[in-house]
Amino acid sequence: MAKKSNNSPKPKRKSAGRRYGPGRPTSQDLEQRKARIIEIATTLFLERGFAETSLVDVAKQSGVATRTIYQHYGNKEDIFRAVLDNSSSATREPQLPTIDSSGSLFDVLSSTAHFICAYTLSPDSLPVLRLMVAESQRFPDYMQQTFEILHDRLHGTIIEVFERLAAEGKIPDGNHTKSVKYFIDLLLGNAPMQLNMNWIKSGPSEEEIRDKTELFIAGRFGLKS
């Protein structure tokens, strides 16, 4: 019987180092996947709350494996924080209202008041606020920190309005931080809590905004609007 030749080519050795399969997602694919996970998780947390939302449901509706969520975000508490950070964007920066130098003090503060109501009481903000209130006992330190960030960003934006008004001579110079606190407190009153509890359907009316703006100008600065 003829002997088999030992001259057959030897299989090539695989090169050292990490190898990826042809299906490895691109960085754009990864970002889209992460955005999809956050979108689904946001919907489920807002609808069900923290306790009734499972990572299995988030993964299933996102079209990924549960381990993928762990790889991208960590555990359930981590993705919950990521959802709130993304929703409150935490922290979306308030856009400073345009100040028309030719406008009256009443016009500027009235437009600023409308901005405050739209930013604070918008249909996008209220569900997130409800979730934060509902889970404040579970995440007390994190919720306090998030509330402070939102508070400081809004107040800081309105302080810039007051500083410009003072620079233009429309209001006296003074403690603008305190003035902004009084203005926002007077304007919003209990509306955030009442809307959160579904006791009212909307924030301050046009008439209320006008009356409160006039009241603030007279009470804080002793000026007629």
The DSSP output letter for 39 is H
Mean pLDDT of 202-211: 95
Number of domain units in the chain: 2
Position 32 in a domain = yes
Largest separation between any pair of C-alpha atoms in the chain: 117
Contacts with 116 (C-beta within 8 Å, 6 or more apart), sequence order: 154, 158, 184, 187, 188
- Whether 123 and 191 map to the same domain: the answer is yes
- Model pTM? 0.74
Position 62 in a domain = yes
Position 12 in a domain = no
Position 22 in a domain = no
Position 94 in a domain = no
Q: What share of the chain is helix, strand, coil (3-state, %, to 5)?
A: 60, 0, 40
- Whether 151 and 205 map to the same domain: the answer is yes
Contacts with 146 (C-beta within 8 Å, 6 or more apart), sequence order: 84, 85, 88, 90, 132
Identify the band that residue 16 occupies on the pLDDT scale cut at 50, 70 and 90.
very low
- Whether 121 and 204 map to the same domain: the answer is yes
- Name the amino acid, one letter, at 19: R
Give percent of the chain with pLDDT exceeding 90.
58
Asked if the model's pLDDT at residue 209 lies above 90, the reply is yes
CATH code, domain carrying 113? 1.10.357.10
* pLDDT in the model for residue 14: 42
3-state secondary structure of 137: coil
Mean pLDDT of 22-46: 86
Neighbour tally for 132: CB within 10 Å? 20
Q: What range defines the domain where residue 53 resides?
A: 28-88
- Whether 51 and 110 map to the same domain: the answer is no
- Whether 199 and 127 map to the same domain: the answer is yes
Phi-psi region of 97 (alpha: psi -120 to 50; beta: other; left: phi over 0): beta
Position 114 in a domain = yes
Asked if the model's pLDDT at residue 20 lies above 60, the reply is no
**What distance in Å separates the CA atoms of residue 184 and residue 216, rounded to the nearest whole number?**
10
Position 23 in a domain = no
CATH code, domain carrying 46? 1.10.10.60
- Whether 115 and 208 map to the same domain: the answer is yes
Q: Name the token pair of 212.
A: 């409160």
